[in-house]
Amino acid sequence: MDKSSYYIKMCESAKVIQKQWKPDFGDFFVSMLLGMTSQCQSVVSDLEKKMSYLKTIKAVWLPRQDQLQEMVIEKYAMPWDLTIAFSNVLMADNASYFDNFDSMEKVWLAFIILEKHKKKWKDGEWV
């Protein structure tokens, strides 16, 4: 799981992704207030309390690779189709763009933002 400051910045800047977050057990997040990365625990089971707490600490969701893939899987008939689309995008004119990312979470986040929102990560923001 990528918990690097670079991935944190990419996730924090991906407001459309952050709005989709429905905190669940095992999700990773970083508290921008405390500067700590954590996992959602099952101790706080009430979603409303959890959301209030996460807002208080200015939590930024760090989606795992499987969560990122789930964001686009409905667009494809089979997981294999998603794999082919992912491969085609990485091998096309965008190959040098994806060379900038050193984890699968970064690559998949960049793929999703490009596919769904037609934006690329450049100079610390989605444009």
Tens digit of pLDDT for each residue in 35-51? Answer: 999 998 765 556 656 67
User: Please, what is the average pLDDT of the chain?
Assistant: 89
Structure tokens at 38: 């954590």
Question: Helix or strand or coil: residue 1?
Answer: coil
Integer distance in angstroms from the first to the last C-alpha of the chain? 25
Q: How confident is the model at residue 67 (pLDDT cuts 50, 70, 90)?
A: very high
Q: Which element (helix H / strand E) includes 94?
A: none
Q: How confident is the model at residue 72 (pLDDT cuts 50, 70, 90)?
A: very high
Tens digit of pLDDT for each residue in 13-31? Answer: 999 999 999 888 889 999 9
Interatomic CA distance for residues 127 and 110, integer angstroms: 11
Q: How many CB atoms lie within 10 A of CB 100?
A: 13
Say what percent of the chain tops pLDDT 90.
Answer: 63
